[in-house]
Amino acid sequence: MTEPLPPRSDTQRPEEREGLGSPLTEGRGADLAGPLPAGNPRTEGAGFEAQQPQPLQSLATAPLTTSLADGEWHRLHPATPLLRGGIALIAIVGFLITNLRDRFIEGFLPMYRDEDYSGDPVEFLVGEGLLFWALLATLGVVLVVVFFFWLSWRFHTFRITAEIVEVRQGVLMRTNRRARLDRIQGVHIQRPFFARLFGAAKLEIEQAGDDANVQLSYLRGHEADALRRDVLALASGAQRAAAAAAPAAPNGVPGLVEARVQELLAPELDPAEAAAESVVRITPGRLIGSVLLSSGTLSVLAVLAGLGIVSLVTGEPIAVFGALPALLGLGTYLVNRITSGLRYSVAGTRDGLRVGYGLLSTTNDTLPPGRVHSVQLSQGLLWRPFGWWAIRVNRASRSSTNAQQQQTRSLVLPVGTLDDAVRVLELMLPGFDAATVQRAAAAKGGEPDDPFTNSPRRARVLRWFSRRRNGFALLPDVVALRRGWLWRELVLVPLPRVQSVAIRRGPLLRALRLAGVHVHTVAGPISSAIGALDDADAQRFFDEVATGAVRAAGNDSSHRWRSAEAAS
Amino acid sequence: MTETAVTRPTEIEWHGVSPKYIAVDLIGTAVSALIFTAAATVPYWLIQEPWALIPSAAVLLVHLVVLVLTPRRIRSIRYALRADDLLVRRGIMFTRLVAVPYGRMQLVDVNRGPIARAFGLSELKFVTAAASSNILLPGLPAEEADDLRDRLVALAESRRTGL
C-alpha cells in the first residue's frame, strides 16, 4: 500500500485560500471532496513567456524588506550548476590530468622522453596537424556545456509570496512546484563543504509527504538565512509588520575572501536569530564514545567476530577478505557519524527548535512548533553506565530516496544526559510535564508514586523483564509510553498530532486478559504501540486518547504558531 | 471477564456490513483456494510421488478453515459514528478496534471489485496521515457507502484540523 499522504499542499493554488481569519478550517475540503481542482502545474510554465514575473497577488502581498521573499521571481546562486555538477566536473578534469600527466611532464622536460607514443591519440593529432581542430572541438564542447548550464540556471526561478513558495525549473521539461507556506513542516539549510567555499547554501522548505519538499539549491549563504527567517515569519501567522521589522542581513560588505573566511568560521546559529545559547553541549569525547557504543557499531563488530571465528575454525582466510568491506563500511560509518555530530547545537527560537551540526558540511534544521508528531527518548544498554539518551522524532516530511538523510533529520539529539534530553523536550513540546518524564525515564517502574500504568503481574509471560516498565501515562496534552528493560525507551506523542488510536487483542492476550494499544502517527522511525496491558487499563487508554485527541486537535493553534502573539 | 470489556463497547449503536458480503468473500476465498491449490500440485506433476500432494492439501485445508470462519469474521466487522470520531472494529480471533477523529480524515475512497459489484456492494477506505491507521469497511451496499462517504466528508469538513 502506498503511504497515505497528508494534503498535497504543493499543488494547491494560493488563490483559493483568501480567508486568513480561520486558518484551522482551510485547505482540507479539496482533499476530501476528490481530485484537486485544476491545478496542473505543468501547463502553467509551458511556454518560455512564463519567464516574465507574474505576481498573482501583488495586492495581497505586503512587501517585506528583504530581497528574496518579496513575491517576485528570483534566480539562484550563479554558481549553482557548478555546485550541482561540481563533483562530476572535477572528476573529469582529474581524470584527464592523471592520464596526460606524462605528457605534461615531458612537455616541460623533454630530456626524460623515453617512451614510444606512436598510436597514442595525442601523438596522432599532432602528427596529422589536427591539434588545432582538436582544441577547437574541445572548446566548442566546453562552450556548449557552459551554455546549457547557464540556460538551466536562467530557467530555474523561485518566488515567495505571503502565501506560497513556488519553484520553476527545466528548459525543455518544465516543472513547477508550488507549496503553501502555512503548511511547512520545517526549514532546512545545508552547506556542503564544496558549496561553503563558494559561500553558497541549500535551503529546503519541508512539506508533509514523500519527497514533497521544495528545494532551493543553491542560494548565497546570508540570503538563505534571511530567507529562512522570512519564510518562518510568513508561515507563523505573525503580523507582517513584525516580520518586516526583523533585523536585516548585515550590511557591511567585507572583501570577498574575508567574507568567505567569516562564513566558514561563523557559529552555525546566528547569534542574532537564535534566542539563546545552545541548551546542550556535546563534547567530542562523549560523541565519539556514544558512536562507538552504539548498536550499529556493535552489530558490525559481532559480524566481524563471527567471520574471525569462521576463518580460524576452517583455516580459510576467505572470511578475512569478507571482513574487509565490512571494516571499511564501519570506518566510513563511524567517521560520518562523528563528523556530522561535531559542533552540534540546539536552541529554541521563536519559530521552533533549531538543530545545527556538522564540521565541514554543516546542516541546520528548524522545526516549528506542532510539527513534531512523536518523540522517542532511547538508551541502549551500553549507554546506561554513562546515562546517555538520544532523541528521535517522527515528522511528516519524508524522503523516499535518501534513507540516510531521513535518519539524520529524525535524530534531534544524538547523545546527551537526561537533563539535556529534558531541556530539548521542553523546547519541542512547550508546557509538558517534564518533571514526570525525567523521573520516569530511567526508573525501574512499579514504584508507589510511579505515574505510569504498567502491565499487570500476569503479563510477565510476555514481558519477562520489562513488565514493570511497560506502560503508559496520560500527561496533559501528551501521551507517554514507556517500554524496554535492556533497551530503555520512552515515547511521547502530542495529543493534537494523534491521527487515530487502536486497541488490539490476539488469542494469547485474550487468554491472559491483556490487550495492546497503538497510537497512530505519521510514519517514521518511532512506533508508538505498547502491548500486554491490562484489559481495563487498555480500554481506559483507548477512551481517553480517543476523546483527548479530538479535544486537543480542536484547541491546537500551532498550525499558525505566532498568530496568537500577533493578535494580542 | 467476557469479551464485552475490550473491543466491544456496548452502549454505542453499531452498524454491521451487508450479509451479502459473506457470499462475496466466500466466492473470493473459493477462487483463491482453486488457484493456489492447483499451483501447489506442481511438485506432484514433476515427481509423481503421493507425498508431493501434501503442499496442496495444506493449502486447501487453510482455505477451508478460512471459509468456515468467514461468516463470523464478516459479521464481526462493525462501525459506529460517534459525535467526534468513527469507530471500526473487526476480527474474532485477532480483534482490533480503531477510533479515528473525523477531522483526521484526509480522504475517503470507495472501491468496488468485480464480485462485490455483482452483489451491489462497495468498500470504503479511510485514509489519515498515518499509514498504520488502515481503516477499511468492506461490504457496504452501494448507496449506503456513498451516503456514508458524503456524511464523513461533511463531518470531516466541519471538524477540520491540521496534520
Out of B30, B56, B73, pick the residue that ends a domain: B73
Residues on chain B touching A563 (C-beta within 8 angstroms)? none
Q: Looking at the predicted structure, is the pLDDT value of residue A108 above 80?
A: no
Residues B55, B57, B62, CA angle at the centre, nearest 5°?
95
Q: Does B129 lie in the same domain as B113?
A: yes
Residues on chain A touching B7 (C-beta within 8 angstroms)? 503-505, 515
Q: Does B84 lie in the same domain as B50?
A: no
Q: Is A560 left (phi over 0), alpha (psi -120 to 50) or beta?
A: beta
CB-CB: which of A28, A373, A549 is closest to B160? A28
Closest CA to A397 of A227, A492, A233, A523: A523
User: In chain B, how many domains are there?
Assistant: 2
CB-CB: which of A503, A546, A558 is closest to B85? A546
Residues whose CB falls within 8 Å of the CB of residue B113, separated by 6 or more in sequence, listed in order: B24, B123
Residues on chain A touching B153 (C-beta within 8 angstroms)? 32-33
Q: Does B87 lie in the same domain as B62?
A: no
Give tens-digit pLDDT for B82-119: 888 999 999 988 999 999 999 888 889 999 999 999 99
Whether A5 sits inside 8 A of B106 (CB atoms) is yes
Q: Looking at the predicted structure, is the pLDDT value of residue A246 above 60?
A: no
pLDDT at A32: 37
- The mean pLDDT value for A342-367 works out to 87
Out of B53, B73, B93, pick the residue that ends a domain: B73
Residues A202, B130, B154, CA angle at the centre, nearest 5°?
110
Whether B99 sits inside 8 A of A500 (CB atoms) is yes
Residue A218: cis peptide before it, omega within 30 degrees of 0 = yes
CB-CB: which of B6, B129, B156 is closest to A499? B129
Residue B58 is assigned to a structural domain of this protein: yes
Q: Does B145 lie in the same domain as B92?
A: yes
Q: Does B44 lie in the same domain as B94?
A: no
Give tens-digit pLDDT for A362-396: 888 999 888 999 999 999 888 999 999 999 999 99
Q: Does B152 lie in the same domain as B124?
A: yes
- The mean pLDDT value for B127-138 works out to 89
Joined grid coordinates for residue A535: 484489559
Closest CA to A553 of B71, B66, B128, B43: B128
Q: Does B141 lie in the same domain as B84?
A: yes
Residue B9 is assigned to a structural domain of this protein: no
**Owning domain of residue B122:** 77-158
User: Residue A349: how many CA atoms within 13 Å on its side-chain side?
Assistant: 26
Residue B36 is assigned to a structural domain of this protein: yes
> How close B44 gets to chain A, by Cα (Å)?
35
Q: What residue of A is the nearest CA neighbor of B125?
A: A4
Q: What residue of B is the nearest CA neighbor of A372?
A: B163
- The mean pLDDT value for B126-148 works out to 91
CB-CB: which of B9, B106, B134 is closest to A6? B106
Whether A503 sits inside 8 A of B133 (CB atoms) is no
Residue B46 is assigned to a structural domain of this protein: yes
Q: Does B145 lie in the same domain as B130?
A: yes
A374 three-class SS: strand
Q: Looking at the predicted structure, is the pLDDT value of residue A26 above 60?
A: no
Whether A502 sits inside 8 A of B94 (CB atoms) is no
- Tell me the Cα Rg of chain A: 28
Whether B160 sits inside 8 A of A25 (CB atoms) is yes
Domain of B149: which CATH number? 2.30.29.30
Whether B163 sits inside 8 A of A550 (CB atoms) is no
Q: Looking at the predicted structure, is the pLDDT value of residue A554 above 60?
A: yes
Burial of A333 per CB tally in 10 Å (0-12, 13-18, 19+): middle
Out of B33, B58, B73, pick the residue that ends a domain: B73
Q: Does B93 lie in the same domain as B36?
A: no
| Residues A425/A419, Cβ–Cβ less than 8 Å | no
- The DSSP bridge pattern shows strands A157-160 and A74-75 to be antiparallel
Q: Does B85 lie in the same domain as B45?
A: no
pLDDT at A474: 92
CB-CB: which of B97, B101, B131 is closest to A503? B97
Q: Looking at the predicted structure, is the pLDDT value of residue A486 above 80?
A: yes
A24 part of contact set with chain B, CB < 8 Å = yes
Residue B2 is assigned to a structural domain of this protein: no
Whether A27 sits inside 8 A of B133 (CB atoms) is no
CB-CB: which of B5, B133, B157 is closest to A539? B5
pLDDT at A8: 41
Residue B163 is assigned to a structural domain of this protein: no
Whether B7 sits inside 8 A of A505 (CB atoms) is yes
Q: Looking at the predicted structure, is the pLDDT value of residue A209 above 80?
A: yes
User: Residue A502: how many CA atoms within 13 Å on its side-chain side?
Assistant: 23
Residue B61 is assigned to a structural domain of this protein: yes
- Give chain B as a DSSP string: --TTSSS--SSS--EE--THHHHHHHHHHHHHHHHHHHHHTHHHHHH--GGGGHHHHHHHHHHHHHHHHHHHHHHT-EEEE-SSEEEEEE-SSSEEEEEEEGGG--EEEEE--HHHHHTTEEEEEEE-S-GGG-EEEEEEEHHHHHHHHHHHHHHHHHT----
Helix (H) or strand (E) segment spanning residue A108: helix A101-108
Q: Looking at the predicted structure, is the pLDDT value of residue A31 above 60?
A: no
Q: Using CA atoms, how far apart are residues A478 and A491, in angstroms rounded to an integer?
A: 10
Instruction: Kindly state the percentage of chain A with pLDDT values over 70.
Output: 76
pLDDT at B26: 94
Whether A28 sits inside 8 A of B106 (CB atoms) is yes
Q: Using CA atoms, how far apart are residues A15 and A496, in angstroms rounded to an integer?
A: 28
Q: Using CA atoms, how far apart are residues A478 and A548, in angstroms rounded to an integer?
A: 9
CB-CB: which of B5, B107, B129 is closest to A522? B129
- If you ran DSSP here, which 8-state letter would residue A512 be given? T
Higher-pLDDT residue of A566, A211: A211
| Residues A391/A376, Cβ–Cβ less than 8 Å | yes
Higher-pLDDT residue of A335, A34: A335
| Residues A246/A227, Cβ–Cβ less than 8 Å | no
Residues on chain A touching B103 (C-beta within 8 angstroms)? 550, 553-554
CB-CB: which of A396, A535, A542 is closest to B163? A396
φ and ψ of A285, to 5 deg? -60, -45
Closest CA to A475 of A426, A417, A539, A411: A426
Q: Does B95 lie in the same domain as B153?
A: yes
> How close A180 gets to chain B, by Cα (Å)?
13
Whether A500 sits inside 8 A of B160 (CB atoms) is no
Q: Does B137 lie in the same domain as B114?
A: yes
For an interface test with B, the pick among A185, A520, A544 (most B C-beta atoms closer than 10 Å) comes out as A520
CB within 8 Å of chain B, chain A residues 49-88: none
Q: What residue of B is the nearest CA neighbor of A24?
A: B161
pLDDT at A6: 43
Residue B8 is assigned to a structural domain of this protein: no
Give tens-digit pLDDT for A303-325: 888 877 877 887 776 666 767 77
Whether B6 sits inside 8 A of A515 (CB atoms) is yes
- Give A406-461 as a DSSP string: HHHHHEEEEEE-HHHHHHHHHHHSTT--HHHHHHHHT--S--TT--SEE--GGGGG
Higher-pLDDT residue of B34, A147: B34
Closest CA to A177 of A160, A154, A202, A190: A160
A396 part of contact set with chain B, CB < 8 Å = yes
Higher-pLDDT residue of A59, B38: B38
Q: Looking at the predicted structure, is the pLDDT value of residue A2 above 80?
A: no
Whether B160 sits inside 8 A of A26 (CB atoms) is yes
- Give A78-106 as a DSSP string: TTHHHHHSHHHHHHHHHHHHHHTHHHHHH
